Chain A
Amino acid sequence: MTTTTTTDTDLLRRMRSGAADAFAALYRRHQGPLYRFALLRCGSADTAADVVQETFMGLLTERFRFDPLRGQLQHFLFGVARNLILKHETASHRHQVLPGTDDEDEGDSPELAADDACPLARLLDNEAAEEVRRALALLAPHYRDAVILYEMHELSYAEIADICQVDIGTVRSRLSRGRAALAKRLAGWRTAASAA
C-alpha cells in the first residue's frame, strides 16, 4: 500500500511539473474504479464518464487539491466523484429513494448468500448482476454510497467514512440498512431464480 501511495505521489509531482505520461499513468490506474463507482452510483454511463472527466480535470487544474498526508489518492478521487454526483443530482432533482428504507431493521443479511454457490446461480450471473444493479439504483443515495464502496470496492468502514465525510458508526448503520433494503428488494427475484 505504501509503495502504491508513494508512486501516486510521485506521479502527481511529475504531473504537476508537466509530465503528460505521469498524468496518463495516474488516469489509467484510477479511472476504472472511479467510473464503476460513478456508474453504479448515478446509473448513467454518460454522467459517469462526465464525472470521471471532471474529477481528473479538477486534479489537473488543482481545483481539487490532493494532500498525500491525508490519505490515498484513490479515496480522494472517490470523494471528489461523490461530491460531483451529489451536485449533479441536486441540480437535476433526480433523487431516487426506495420507500420505507429508513424504517428497515438494521440486521445484516448474510443468510441471503447461503445458496449462491449452487450451479444454477452461476448460470444466472448476468441476470443476477442486472437485478442487483437495479435494486442498488433504488437505494437512497447515502445508502448506495456505503454499499457500493464496501461491497464493490472493498473499502473499509474508516475509508468509507473518510470519503463520505461521516463517522464510522454512520457508515455501519447505512451499510446495514442498505443491505436490508437490498435483501427485501431482491427476495422475490431470488425465490424465482431458485425455483427455476
Chain B
Amino acid sequence: MDTRHIDKPANRDPLFDALRAETNRLDTPRRVEADLLQAFARLHPPRRRRFHAPGLRGWLLAGGLSGLVAGALALTVALQAPRVEVAPQARAVVALDESAPFIALDSAERIAAEPAPRMVAADVPRTSLAALGVPLTPENAGESVRAELLVAADGQPLALRLSTIE
C-alpha cells in the first residue's frame, strides 16, 4: 500500500534500515489466523441451500395443505349447486317423468340462488304454453296440460316440466 505523501522526506533515517530489514520478515503467528477464521466461521455459519428437497415434515405440511385446499374446493362446489327440495306429493310425479327435461322460466342464476324451491304439480292451459312450443289448435285450445312446476319460496315459477302432452 503506497502511503507516501508530500510531507514525507524522500529518504528515511538510515538508522532504521537494519531494523526495517529485520522486522520485515516478521509476521503474526499462524495460530492467530486460524483462531480468527474459526471465530469467523462461528459468526457466519454456512447458509442452508435456498432450494432443497423437503423432509418428512415438509411433505406432511404439503399434504395437509393440499387436503385442506381440496376440501375447501369440494365444499364450495357443493354450496353452489342448486338444492332442489321436492314436495312429498310431487316426488312420485317427478319419478314418473325423469327423462323429461325442465324448461327454465327464469335465469339459471336466479334458480341456483333460490334457497327453498319446491316442486308443484299443476294443470296449465295450453294457450299459456304455446310460446314454449306446445301444439295449439282450435280444437284443443281450451284444454289443460299436466305439468310439474319448480316454484320459488315466494310462489314465483322457476322452471316447468310437462309430464303429459296430449
Contacts and interface: CB of A to CB of B under 8 A. Distances in A.
A14 to B, nearest CB: 11
Contacts of B22: 125-126, 129-130, 133
Contacts of B35: 53
A156 B33 contact: no
A126 B14 contact: no
A155 interface: yes
A72 to B, nearest CB: 7
Interface residues of B, number: 37
A80 to B, nearest CB: 14
Interface string B13-31: 1111111111110111101
Contact of B7 (A28, A52, A156, A186): A156
B164 interface: no
Contacts, number: 126
Nearest to B8: A156
B26 A23 contact: no
Contacts of B37: 20, 23-24
Interface stretch (A55-63, A89-97, A99-107): A55-63
A117 B14 contact: yes
B52 interface: no
A8 B166 CA distance: 100
Interface of B: 1-8, 12-24, 26-29, 31-33, 35-37, 39-41, 43-44, 47
In the A-B complex, the 7 residue pairs with the closest CB atoms: A156-B5, A128-B18, A113-B14, A129-B22, A18-B44, A129-B18, A116-B14
22 contacts: A4-B2, A18-B47, A20-B44, A31-B33, A32-B26, A32-B28, A35-B28, A36-B24, A40-B23, A56-B36, A74-B1, A74-B3, A112-B15, A113-B14, A113-B15, A116-B15, A125-B21, A132-B15, A132-B16, A132-B19, A133-B22, A159-B3
